[in-house]
Amino acid sequence: MRTGDVIDGRYELEDARGSGSGGVVWTAFDRKLKRRVALKRPHATASDTDRARFHREAETAAQVHHPNAISIFDTVDTDGCWLVMEYLPAESLDKTLAAKGTLPPERVARIGVQIAGALAAVHARNIVHRDVKPGNILVTDDDLAKLTDFGISLWREVTRTDDGRISGTPAYTSPEVAGGYPAGRASDVFSLGATLFAAVEGTPPFGNGEPFEVLERVRRGETLPMRQAGPLTSLLAEMLRPQPNRRPTADEVRLRLKDLVDDWEPPAPPVEHPARRPFRHRPPVRVAAVAMVVAAVGTVVFTKQHQAPAAQQHESAGGLVGDERTADPCALIDKVELRRFGPTKVFTTYGNFNRCDAVVDVRAKDQVDLEIQLITRASRAVQGRPLEVVEESQVSGECDRTVVVDDRYAVRVTAKLENPPLDLCAVADVATGTVLDVLRSGPIPRRAVPFPAGSLAHVDACALLDDKALATVGVVGGGSAVNVFGNWACKWFSTVGGRAINLRYDRRPAQERDEGELVDLGGHAGYVQLDAGSGTSCTVRVPHLPANLPPRAHTDVVVLTVNGDLPGIEYCPEARGLAAVAAGKLPS
């Protein structure tokens, strides 16, 4: 590509303004609308699969409209794979800091209030940026700031460290992401706090150095002291809290910063006159950075094949789930539809109470187990819009789909069978279609039969571990529990990465024996078992056998798992201790 080349018969290239890991950025003149735009293309040639994913991601990102986020105008397939974006004559914040040094707190607050507003808008669309940092913020001389570069996986060279799991930029990464957990709204807030910290103090909160050294300090929460933040000190300290649930939201940050900037308002973006002189007579244009706004990818890929009409999407914002403990996951299964693959039976007592299974006999001795689970979006960092389908990475013997219900809930659809004689995703897609049909018709039907007396379905799993027990393994307090659904399963994470705790309920046939080493948990029987797959977790199963209840066909079980970066055997003492605390709180 050279200056003067015309892309797609419309965009005339002017100047190449930069080349990084994401691709090459040009300024260009849009001959049709008589305006200057920014064009970005990847370094490598895009495959058909990459192009399809690129268009889905760009379509999602283009729906974010905010005065402080760079807009996406168009995509171009001819002459390569191009993204057409809003043009802004501005420097990136990292270049500003390199050239001018630290900024006064008042100017940092003016930049921060705009970026926090952009993040709040993005989060409202259930999109997570994943890489907020000075290099992804454009700032004009009069302090107009815009958030850029949500990263298309096709173009992005992900920063990886020794543990091979971290995406984004280590110096601005939150402790939970450094510990290997998915990025979320709170991690974006942390990264914005780290960015503002760097702008006012001259260095990121965890200092500089090799990525693995910085990440280790992130995990330990070893922030540098603030000496120049002034009125920003208190807010930055809250944004940089190790516990995600204790950080303010992006909109709360915006309101706090708005109080600090008083009556100051961001300037309007510069407007070019539509008249255009010939290219050869135009003076050089001062540009430092342009970027794109697209949905963060790597953990999710957005698909459109099951997208609901706008009216139906609006309706889905209502109470489609309702009371978590009475919503019936089996109502989301249609045996008639599944019978195209083979004889089908529905089982209501597999796994947790939020789950219903359909077993499909696809061939002699080959059965596909189709799991339908109601979940909260927070428990899996699900992203997407109401009634949108998220395709998760397919692994051997398993195909996953997640249907977004509304801002709070989702339905996970999983088809499982080792060495399947058919396409598991075909089964999952049929089941997903049924889920969408039910959701579009109104609220999920209620359970026809209530849970029996004495069932763990009546017990709050999130309350089985108290702050004292959690503190012994370096995990935040009980108030930080992430409810998976119905308070029948809860997750807790370490304050600085590392360990994670998952406590859930399970069900098994009464005659089935538990596997693992039998241990005594203060008068309760427990069974300890190492995870043969990852090798980095230890699980304790505690059958719930109240003496005053008659025999039943199925037994409820408390399942507690501790996992992290160490061999699973290292976590077994902690798992046993926590399981003993949980067992002691079960009804007798």
Pairing of strands 409-416, 398-404: antiparallel
Find, among 376, 384, 380, 378, the residue nearest to 302 by Cα: 384
**Strand partners for 30:** 11, 35
* Inter-axis angle of helices 250-261 and 185-201, nearest 10: 30
Region of 387 (left: φ > 0; alpha: ψ -120 to 50; beta: rest) is left
CA distance 222 to 212: 14
Buried b (16+ CB within 10 A) or exposed e, 387-415: bbbbbbeeeeebbbbbbbbbeebbbbbbb
User: 101: burial class by Cβ within 10 Å (0-12, 13-18, 19+)?
Assistant: exposed
Two structure tokens written together for 9: 């018969």
Continuous segment of H or E residues that includes residue 98: helix 93-100
Cα–Cα dist 38/369, whole Å = 49
Find tokens 């922030």 and name the residue.
223
Contact 331, 438 (CB under 8 A): yes
Compute the distance between CA of residue 54 and CA of residue 48 in angstroms, rounded to an integer: 10
Report DSSP state, residue 456: G
Of residues 227, 225, 237, 230, the one with CA closest to residue 260: 230
Q: How far, in Å, CA of 483 to CA of 379, rounded? A: 7
| β strands within 287-333, DSSP E | 301-303
Beta partners for residue 539, in sequence order: 529, 561
Short-list 60, 20, 57, CA closest to 40? 20
Neighbouring residues of 61: CB distance < 8 A, sequence distance ≥ 6:
72, 127, 150, 292, 293, 294, 295
Q: Which listed residue (30, 131, 149, 406) is catalytic? A: 131
The 10 Å Cβ neighbour count of residue 356 is 22
Strand ranges, E, within 266-418: 301-303, 344-347, 355-363, 366-376, 389-391, 398-404, 409-416
131 catalytic per annotation: yes
Tokens for 228, please give them. 């120049």
| C-beta pairs of 14-22 under 8 Å, 24+ apart in sequence | 14/279, 14/282, 14/285, 15/284, 15/285, 15/287, 17/287, 17/288, 17/289, 17/290, 18/288, 18/289, 19/43, 21/156, 21/157, 22/149, 22/151, 22/152, 22/155, 22/156, 22/157
The structure tokens 């001819």 sit at: 78
Could you give the CA distance from residue 328 to residue 425 in angstroms, rounded to a whole number?
Answer: 24
Residues annotated catalytic, as ranges: 131
